[in-house]
């Protein structure tokens, strides 16, 4: 019996709802060259950040080159390539817009993996369902456009915006906003901070213990999701217990009167009214909730090193460089040379396409076209032979001539005179015994 093929259940997120969405950016995130286990894990974490519009299960091979991914990108409708490499100075990250560029080269000053941040955090971990929708992008602390602001800032902001799908407030649902990617510019260090957060919604205006009753127990401590109050005589003992009084071991600590009062009062700046039903228990439309961001990683500190035109392998002029500065004359000469190389590349490409088209047309015409082309080819061959003879007639005697051994010259003379004698054949003698 033939095995049934899955055709619907393997689609993720937005792809399951709209398979023909063309304006959604898709990406390849790869490691290039020899990298360690930490950078390999960083690549996998970045793929989780860019889900569901990235190749999560992409496997790189040692013989694969950047040219292979760039060639396959248009077929798979991939718009961006992110490559992590390890250099002698520090790890680097390249973000390229396919197929025309530009390419942004970053140096990874510092980074933290997803598992390290989750170990250090006390908040609840992600369940995995938030990766079914794309994250929201937040750009912070970038200088506003002005005559004094460098031009590469606007190009850099557009590059990060093109990595994620554009917002559509009229069509998106509130439950689809599950994650946030924060990209902030640090003016003191001149670096870019990359953060990844999970959006959580909690009850507003209640204390921590009341919130635990409303939300239920954590899945790590209870399988039913109900808070265990079996050791309490009354629920008031759990809600009104003062600091220092003995309590059940399952409570996991106490809170002071100040923290309890502050959590009960709440902050109006953190509270929002839900415009629609949200993910979680008791998160209904119109209720007042407190929004919190939990960092789930990875975390990176990037320094922009270079911006070049074109994709990797076909880089054009350097638009910005952190360490190398060139004069206007040098920049103009480089632009001229890159333009000449591009014209030559385009010319060769056109010639190849014309040759391929001509061969296809000749093949479609059949043997008649080949027979017509045969006399032309013979005429060309005869012309080449005549040219070759003329070249031999114009031999310069003063040119160097390789020395020939005396034995070889003697043998050649004997061959010309016919002095070689045929070897005698031995007669076969049969002996009868």
Number of H-type helices and E-type strands within the chain: 11, 11
Is the pLDDT assigned to residue 377 strictly greater than 90?
no
pLDDT of residue 281: 75
What pLDDT is recorded for position 81? Answer: 95
Beta bridge partners of 181: 137, 196
pLDDT at 430 over 70: no
With a CB cutoff of 8 Å and minimum separation 6, the contacts of 334 are 317, 318, 326
Q: CA-CA distance, 207 to 190, in Å (whole number)? A: 41
Please tell me the predicted confidence (pLDDT) of residue 383: 52
The predicted structure's pLDDT at residue 367: 62
pLDDT at 289: 85
**pLDDT score recorded for residue 262:** 46
pLDDT tens digit sequence for 326-371: 777 877 787 788 788 888 888 998 999 999 998 988 888 876 555 5
Section 12-23 average pLDDT: 52
Task: With H, G, I as helix, E, B as strand and everything else as coil, classify residue 294.
Answer: strand
Name residue 95's beta-bridge partners. 82, 104
pLDDT recorded at residue 200: 87
Structural element, H or E, at residue 57: none
Give the span between the Cα atoms of 347 and 352, in whole angstroms: 9
User: What mean pLDDT value characterizes the chain?
Assistant: 77
Between 351 and 206, residue with greater pLDDT: 351
User: What is the per-residue pLDDT across 125-141, written as a single tens digit (0 to 9) for each?
Assistant: 666 789 999 999 999 99
3-state secondary structure of 41: helix
Under the banding of pLDDT at 50, 70 and 90, the label for residue 400 is very low
Q: Using one digit for the tens of pLDDT, what is the confidence trace for 304-315? A: 999 998 898 888
Cα(299)–Cα(297) distance, rounded to whole angstroms? 5
pLDDT for 245 equals 60
pLDDT digits (tens, 9 = 90+) for 41-65: 999 999 999 999 999 999 888 888 8
pLDDT above 70 coverage of the chain, percent: 67
Q: How many Å apart are CA 297 and CA 309, to the nearest integer?
A: 31
pLDDT at 319: 87
For 384, the token pair is 């080449």
Q: Can you read off the two tokens belonging to residue 416?
A: 């010309």
Each residue's pLDDT tens digit, 263-300: 444 455 567 888 888 887 778 888 888 888 889 989 99
Total residue length of the chain: 433
Query: What are the two backbone dihedrals, phi and then psi, of residue 94, each rounded to the nearest 5 degrees?
Result: -115, 130
Confidence bin at 214 (pLDDT 50/70/90): low
The pLDDT of residue 285 is 86
Give the Cα-Cα-Cα angle 178, 182, 188 (nearest 5 degrees): 165
Asked whether residue 8 carries a pLDDT value surpassing 90, the answer given is no
Cα 423 from Cα 407, distance rounded (Å): 20
pLDDT of residue 53: 94
Strand segments (E) across 90-231:
91-97, 103-112, 136-140, 179-186, 191-203
Q: For 213, phi and psi rounded to 5 degrees?
A: -70, -40
Count other Cβ atoms within 10 Å, centred on residue 332: 11
Phi, psi (deg, nearest 5) at residue 403: -70, 145
User: Does residue 42 or residue 253 have the better pLDDT?
Assistant: 42
Q: pTM to 2 decimals?
A: 0.66
Assess whether pLDDT exceeds 50 at residue 250: no
Neighbouring-strand partners of residue 108: 302
Q: Does the pLDDT of residue 320 top 50, yes or no?
A: yes
Dihedral in degrees, nearest 10, Cα atoms 308, 311, 315, 317: -40
């Amino acid at each position: 019996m033939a095995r049934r093929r899955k055709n619907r259940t393997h689609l993720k997120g937005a792809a399951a709802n709209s398979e023909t969405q063309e304006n959604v950016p898709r990406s390849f995130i790869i490691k290039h060259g020899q990298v360690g286990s930490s950078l390999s894990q960083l690549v996998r974490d970045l793929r989780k950040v860019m889900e569901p519009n990235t190749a999560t299960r992409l496997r790189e091979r040692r013989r694969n080159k950047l040219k292979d991914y760039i060639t396959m990108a248009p077929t798979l409708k991939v718009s961006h390539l992110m490559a992590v490499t390890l250099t002698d100075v520090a790890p680097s990250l390249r973000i390229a817009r396919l197929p025309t560029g530009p390419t942004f080269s970053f140096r990874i000053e510092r980074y933290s993996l997803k598992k390290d941040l989750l170990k250090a955090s006390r908040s609840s971990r992600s369940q995995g369902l938030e990766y079914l929708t794309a994250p929201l992008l937040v750009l912070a602390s970038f200088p506003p456009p002005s005559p004094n602001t460098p031009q590469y800032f606007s190009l850099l902001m557009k590059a990060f915006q093109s990595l994620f799908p554009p917002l559509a407030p009229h069509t998106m649902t509130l439950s689809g906003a599950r994650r946030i990617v924060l990209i902030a510019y640090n003016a003191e260090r001149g670096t870019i901070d990359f953060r990844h957060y999970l959006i959580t919604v909690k009850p507003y205006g209640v204390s921590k213990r009341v919130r635990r009753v409303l939300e239920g127990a954590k899945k790590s401590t209870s399988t039913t999701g109900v808070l265990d109050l079996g050791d309490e005589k009354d629920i008031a003992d759990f809600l009104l217990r003062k600091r220092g009084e003995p309590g059940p071991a399952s409570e996991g600590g106490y809170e002071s009167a100040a923290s309890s009062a502050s959590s009960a009062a709440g902050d109006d700046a953190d509270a929002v009214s839900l415009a629609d039903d949200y993910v979680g228990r008791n998160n209904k439309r119109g209720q007042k909730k407190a929004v919190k961001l939990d960092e789930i990683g990875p975390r990176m500190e990037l320094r922009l090193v270079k911006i070049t035109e074109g994709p990797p392998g076909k880089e054009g002029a350097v638009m910005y460089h952190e360490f190398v500065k060139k004069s206007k004359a040098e920049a103009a000469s480089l632009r001229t040379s890159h333009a000449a190389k591009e014209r030559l590349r385009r010319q060769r490409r056109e010639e190849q396409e014309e040759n391929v088209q001509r061969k296809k047309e000749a093949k479609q015409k059949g043997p008649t076209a080949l027979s017509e082309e045969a006399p032309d080819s013979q005429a060309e061959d005869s012309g080449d032979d005549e040219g070759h003879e003329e070249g031999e007639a114009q031999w310069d005697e003063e040119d160097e001539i390789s020395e020939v051994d005396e034995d070889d010259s003697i043998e050649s003379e004997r061959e010309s005179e016919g002095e070689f004698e045929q070897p005698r054949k031995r007669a076969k003698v049969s002996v009868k015994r």
